[in-house]
Structure 1
Amino acid sequence: MAIALFGCGVPFPVEEDVTLLPPPPPDATVGPPGPALTPQAPDAFILSPLDGTVVAPGVSLLLRGVLSDDDDALDSLTARWELDDGEVIEVITPTADGLVETSFTIPPEGLEGLRLVAVDPGGLSKSVSVSLVANSPPGAIEAAIFPESPSANDDLLVVVEEPAEDPDRDATGIANVFQWYVDGELAGIEGALVDASLTRAGEVWSVTVRAYDGFALGPQVEAEVNIGLAGPTVFVSAPLGADGDLTCAVSEAGSLEQATEASWYWTIGDGAEVKTTKELQSDAVSHCDWVSCRVELSLGDDLVSSEPSSLLLPYGADCEAESPCFEKLCAEGGGCSAVAIEEACEDGDACTVGDTCVEGACISGEALACEAADNAAATCVDGECELVCEPGWLDCDEDYESGCELESPEEGPCPE
């Protein structure tokens, strides 16, 4: 039967009837989805070591792998760790999770690789291998001890000037091994630093340094230094100023005890330095003197000096005797102050009053006035008014106001 469809007035022809046939019956030879009918070998994966792992003889290696199988239970499988030449390391039954783990020590001749073989109950097997890299020891380093010419006050530090090269790893995988010696004997110090408190002048300190990559040590290098004298720290001690003896006191001894000789030097003002003793006598200095001292140590050919220590001795009687009409201070560069003052002073004459400083000089004031008394004249003696009796008179009551009260025809002592 033919059918014509019309749309928009245009006929659309349709072919002959198409009879819809039912689907063909299922193929009886095709089974439902599920495991493959052909048995498959189990799979093996190595978790450790990784391919390319660096190893060395004597190193214990963790062998860890995992098995999987779509056909058989995991605990029915067998795992076999083997060397690259087929020698069996160990046969293991995997855990319920398929994990197979053991350890192995790299033999003296080394090892280039190993493999993990998985075997199912039917004998089907599959293996996986990893390659191992034989460790190469690190190369030599270049090292020096800093400072190059240390004193007994200096810490010693090993400075690696050129790190070791290693074909198997970068510098972060390399450690440096230090061993210190003092005068050829093992010092028991294995770090890069030696504290100054452990060294003494005259000793020879050396260190050996080798790079270590975790498996092997590289070539040994050595550095050596001689410990020199350490200069002490001194200061001028003058608790009484110029009125007492001075001492070149020691605050830090340095190598004072190790030195074979200690020489003490003093300088006073602009004078020449003088070699003397640790103490300086007071008669060698004056108030407002700048004084400095130092000590020099020797040990064999080694010679070292402390830094000089200076002190300005305080103002005192020496400056007062020079002139009372200057500031009662020491000059900044030493010596008595040369700055004049204008104020009352003492000219040394007790019978003058109102003495005054003028342009650095003490000018005498007026003479002390002494009033005359009966039968006597008056005069100043050492700042005191004294009576001078007229002839024929004596002052026996020692009363100034009463004058010379006793008439006496003869000079002589007062009657008793």
Structure 2
Amino acid sequence: MSKQVQDAYIVAATRTPIGKSGRGYFKNTRSDDLLVRAIQAALAQVPTLDPKAIEDAVIGCSFPEGEQGMNFARIAVALAGLPHSVGGVTINRFCASGVTAIQMAADRIRVGEADVMIAGGAESMSMVPMGGNKPAFNPEIFTRDENVGIAYGMGLTAEKVAERWKVSREDQDAFALASHQRAIKAQQAGEFADEICPVDIIQRVPDLATGEIRYSTRTVSLDEGPRPDTSLEGLGKLRPVFAAKGSVTAGNSSQTSDGAGALILASEKAVKQFDLKPLARFVSFASRGVPPEIMGIGPIEAIPAALKAGGLKLDDMGWIELNEAFAAQSLAVIRDLGLNPDVVNPMGGAIALGHPLGATGAIRAATTIHALRRHKLKYGMVTMCIGTGQGAAGIFEAV
């Protein structure tokens, strides 16, 4: 394990609710506005922190264009009311953008370049679709067999994983049902309350009789995706989406979503200076590449690397947030590495809760950090597969 100059502590962690893309809570809400709300809520958790001490904000986004383009990290920092001295940079590692942002912010602190950083992620899949507004692959991808997998749709890669790792349709549907059941149970028990910052949605409706615009506000505080009426029978009726004789359906895949998450990280020096209470210590991070056509197995390579970097073993993990891009790849990872199903996504995953791409890593980090403290666990992990063939994993220690 490489020597660190100093530790990086998470002193605030929060996220917005996750809305369904296209028709949900945030269909008309910009992702930078969601990010502003998350940043402001994170700052509210550390009232003794001088905002001028914040060095920079590293924000992840999978498709930083359109409404979430133009370095929206810096724009959100400004709109959140932070001093002009606070910078902002938008970074992209597709589905691992949010957790990579945390890693980059932590590393700035760990090597002594900063004492206080913001990290997070945001994505509106309602406003910027999967693939972006103008997908344009490099033509070279299609001239070499070893590169063509980069252009495969995510669903097709899940089909390939299901075939190679022998994950049945029945097992995928059962995994999806469990995700919804766990999420509903956690919502009913108030398990998400510590991590979610409520968001006010302003609706504008024209009054045709008077020509005026009527305003109404509602507050949302729960993820929109979990369905209490999900059943094996209902899931079994869904047709495969990506291959005629396949097993991957809309029901056993993650939901496209809108949301944002934000964390504040600080050095030990800043913790003492501003009388902050650490929630967790950032332990380690690893990313690894895998063949693009089976991108879903990325965590199989990243998890052991992150554990090694942290000097830890798999049995040390009391909580694992394994992003459920697809039930097929989630089960392949769980089985291949021998993960304990009881500690993997205890409150449901992206199949039920949603997957706002570049925000997911930050959102699931907030889930992990608060769950560790709530359940008096020591170590937790956030891990996911990544489009074009990568895996990432980050480890946190409750303090």
Shorter-normalised TM range: under 0.3
Q: TM-score, normalised by structure 2?
A: 0.16
- The structure with the largest strand share of the pair is 1
- The structure with the largest helix share of the pair is 2
Structure with the larger RCO, 1 or 2 (CA within 8 Å, 6+ apart): 2
Q: TM-score, normalised by structure 1?
A: 0.16
